[in-house]
């Protein structure tokens, strides 16, 4: 049976489509995250969609050592705390080491486990002990049912507030494929499923020293996932994706967000009548 995960005044896995969205990484110019948070709050309030702000203080798994990683843990958490206070939004951000869990939990409402770390026992246990909602990104190397093992590491550590993100599966070299059967398979294990519509269009490592992407398919996959019954969407959204320092090719533009989210809400309501 699908478990609803309570967060603030809404439920992930409940009667409304939940949105996790924001820029890939916190940039030196903090106006980017503030502009994005302000606009997405306005859009989601207008549509009546529960919204969780997303941004990373550190992207520890960039393809190249030369790639921009973010502003770091201390500065990043200060920025996220300001977003939380100014816009009254819950925050989701990723952790990369077990010792970061308790520190990040002082600000974030949802701790995200990156896909490449989704089997790492120590980080899952440390995250569980914070009592926060734990958002596990299913590794692109895992079959849907295999994420059960990761979820159980959290649950058996005393925290049943688990949400799973589906973000595509490795398909040959430098490509991902999204199998929408994964959504009901994971839900049948008992967990709400958020579909990552932007990382699913990545072409890992295909730009040589960076990951390429096919932004034009974000809308197609997002609508398909909602039609398949997902409980929410994860999207990286930026005011100017083409000039973003991280994940630009698969992020969508802020000015496209309203149209896509409004259609996805309509599809969700049809599916859940």
What is 170-198 written as a DSSP string?
E-SSS-EE--TTHHHHHHHTT--EEEETT
Output the domain CATH number for residue 195: 3.20.20.70
Answer yes or no: is 44 within a domain. Answer: yes
Indicate whether 120 belongs to any domain.
yes
Which two three-digit tokens encode residue 137? 């990104």
The answer to whether position 2 is within a domain reads no
Query: Do the Cβ atoms of 239 and 254 come closer than 8 Å?
Result: yes
How many structural domains are present in the chain? 1
Mean pLDDT, residues 5-10 taken together: 96
DSSP 229-256: T-SEEEEEEES-GGG-SSSGGGPEEGGG
Q: Is the pLDDT of residue 197 over 70?
A: yes
Residue 8 inside a domain? The answer is no
As a whole number of angstroms, the distance between CA 42 and CA 184 comes to 31
Q: At what angle do helices 31-47 and 257-271 cross, to 10 degrees?
A: 40
* Domain that includes residue 94, residue range: 17-271
Rounded average pLDDT over 218-225:
97
Confidence category of residue 45, pLDDT binned at 50, 70, 90 = very high
CB 44 within 8 A of CB 51: yes
pLDDT for 249-262, tens place per residue? 899 999 999 999 99
pLDDT digits over 137-161, tens only? 999 999 999 999 999 999 999 999 9
- At 206 the pLDDT is 61
What are the counts of helices (DSSP H) followed by strands (DSSP E) for the chain? 8, 15
pTM above 0.85, yes or no: yes
Q: Is residue 7 part of a domain?
A: no
Residues 6+ apart with CB under 8 A from 84: 53, 90, 91, 107
pLDDT over 70 at 10, yes or no: yes
Q: Which residue has the tokens 């005044």?
A: 9
Please state the rounded mean pLDDT for residues 46-50: 98
Give the pLDDT band of residue 109 (cuts 50, 70, 90). very high
Question: pLDDT over 70 for what percent of the chain?
Answer: 97
Query: For residue 67, what pLDDT is reported?
Result: 76
Residue 1 lies in a domain: no
Q: Determine, yes or no, domain membership for 185.
A: yes
Query: Per DSSP, what are the bridge partners of residue 177?
Result: 169
Whether 10 maps to a domain, the answer reads no
């Amino acid at each position: 049976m699908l478990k609803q995960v309570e967060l603030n005044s809404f439920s992930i896995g409940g009667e409304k489509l939940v949105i996790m969205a924001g820029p890939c990484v916190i940039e030196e110019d903090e106006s980017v995250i503030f502009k994005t948070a302000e606009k997405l709050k306005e859009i989601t309030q207008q549509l009546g969609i529960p919204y969780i702000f997303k941004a990373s203080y550190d992207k520890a798994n960039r393809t190249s050592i030369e790639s921009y990683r973010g502003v770091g843990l201390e500065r990043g958490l200060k920025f996220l705390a300001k977003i939380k206070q100014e816009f009254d939004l819950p925050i989701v951000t990723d952790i990369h080491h077990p010792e970061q869990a308790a520190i990040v939990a002082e600000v974030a409402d949802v701790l995200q486990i990156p896909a490449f770390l989704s089997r790492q026992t120590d980080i899952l246990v440390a995250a569980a002990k914070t009592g926060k909602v734990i958002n596990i990104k299913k590794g692109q190397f895992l079959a849907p049912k295999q994420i059960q093992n990761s979820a159980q590491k959290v649950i058996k550590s005393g925290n049943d507030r688990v949400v799973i993100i589906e973000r595509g599966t490795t398909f040959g070299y430098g490509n991902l494929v999204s199998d929408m059967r994964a959504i009901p398979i994971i839900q049948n294990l008992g967990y709400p499923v958020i579909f990552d519509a932007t990382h699913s269009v990545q072409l890992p490592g295909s730009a040589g020293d960076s990951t390429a992407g096919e932004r034009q398919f974000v809308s197609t996959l997002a609508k398909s996932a909602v039609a398949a019954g997902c409980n929410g969407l994860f999207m990286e959204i930026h005011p100017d994706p083409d000039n973003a320092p991280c994940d630009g090719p698969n992020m969508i533009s802020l000015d496209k967000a309203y149209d896509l989210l409004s259609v996805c809400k309509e599809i969700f309501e049809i599916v859940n009548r």
